[in-house]
Amino acid sequence: MNSKNHHKGKLLSSRIEGLRDLAPQDRLNRVGAAAGLGAADIEALSGAGVLDPGTADAMIENVIGTFELPMGVATNFIVNGREVLVPMAVEEPSVVAAASHMAKIARSCGGFIVQSTAPIMRAQIQILELGDVAKARAQLLSQEAALVAQANACDPVLVELGGGCRGIEVHIFETSPIGPMAVLHLLVDVRDAMGANAVNSMAETLAPMVEEITGGKVRLRILSNLADKRLVNARVELPFAALDTKTLNGRDVAQGIVEACTLALIDPYRAATHNKGIMNGIDPVVLATGNDWRAIEAGAHAFAARSGQYRALTTWELADGDTLVGTLEMPMAVGIVGGATRTHPAAQAALRLMNISSAQELGEICAAVGLAQNMAALKALATEGIQKGHMALHARNIAITAGAKGPDVERVARMLVHNGEINVTAAKAILAAG
């Protein structure tokens, strides 16, 4: 990792008491102090004038300004034994609160344990006009060493960093609407990058060589976002007692979570919503760090359907008589170098807030947050229902929509929740009554 990005401070605890009761600037100061951030990073995380027009104009085309989302911090996380404060850029109420609450439950049980594989990405080279696809496959495999060497020759810096093309696969399709075809996959270790540019460049460089070997015609030369060799696996184990509520026994809560998850394992209609809840946690971290959340979404949903049926990305099971075990496995193609991660000051500050030292570590934290978010959703569904907590946190948005400003926002929100009627009409009535 670039030393400019690396933050050497040590977070003593991600548990910050009373954070939600502070004003935004006071929260930022507390978080910054806990993580040992400098003034520049604290200012960057505030979002106030961070992305100047010149930098924004250089990032994408036809820039007319910038678009902001609220930046929150999920507290209480312990990932692989390390305390972590997690920046989350998201517009939906209850996401940050839910992740923080589940992390608080998990931290007393050791937090989240996450493992990840090497950062291997795939590039695909589509080969058409082949008389014999099986022969073409054999020809390509016989030239694997030469193909790998040629791929690595076009990115010596990546090779110097310990990455590079590791090998090839050849997938054949005997029939298709346009005839038989072969698809060469380059398997590339992209180190701390997301990797799209590296693998795309390799694929384009190898196209003439592939045509010469096979006698076919190359069409597509591009990465796959189904990064099924770049996986994270997150796990949490909770004794039933950790799930006790004022009105429910933890064993019953755990059983309810397992039953709720089971529907998502067998029914794609439920699985879509189940997995969306997981991404509620992951996407905000990906966005806050300047990564490509569309790539993560595409990979996640494709992976969820790899068996031929779209299924839940998590499993929840009862183990050892008194323990609830949750696991999440999915692709995680995130980077800490290149793209917006390198150019956006707030993305850089977000990485330093988490004290990230590798792309794999960032992916592991994303997975832990996704599992926490899933646990929160299933726990709510298995007990009081999803709307009670969500709508209570949504009350502030309702108050603003009704015209509340300043201190009135909190006052109206509190009354909406107290009255149990959370809608714009009720909020307007409260404002009119003064």
Contact 240, 250 (CB under 8 A): yes
* C-alpha to C-alpha distances, 407 to 69, 225, 313, 404, 411, nearest whole angstrom: 21, 46, 42, 8, 7
Contact 349, 37 (CB under 8 A): yes
Distance (Å, whole) CA 394 – CA 413: 8
- For 147, residues 6+ apart whose C-beta sits below 8 A from its C-beta are 140, 165, 168, 184, 186, 206, 209, 210
* Closest CA relative to residue 73, chosen from 390, 344, 298, 369: 369
Length of the chain: 434
Tokens of 368: 């832990």
- For 66, residues 6+ apart whose C-beta sits below 8 A from its C-beta are 51, 56
Look up tokens 């990840």; give the residue. Answer: 116
Instruction: Give Cα 138 distance to the centre of its chain.
Output: 38
* C-alpha to C-alpha distances, 73 to 94, 219, 350, nearest whole angstrom: 12, 45, 10
Distance (Å, whole) CA 49 – CA 350: 16
361 catalytic? Reply is: no
390 catalytic? Reply is: yes
Contact 265, 312 (CB under 8 A): yes
292 catalytic? Reply is: yes
17 catalytic? Reply is: no
Look up tokens 């603003």; give the residue. Answer: 400
Out of 101, 344, 379, 390, the active site residue is: 390
Three-state DSSP at 221 gives: strand
Out of 83, 155, 283, 292, the active site residue is: 292
Out of 276, 297, 408, 428, the active site residue is: 276
Run of H or E residues at 2:
none
Out of 92, 144, 228, 244, the active site residue is: 92
Residues with catalytic function: 92, 276, 292, 390
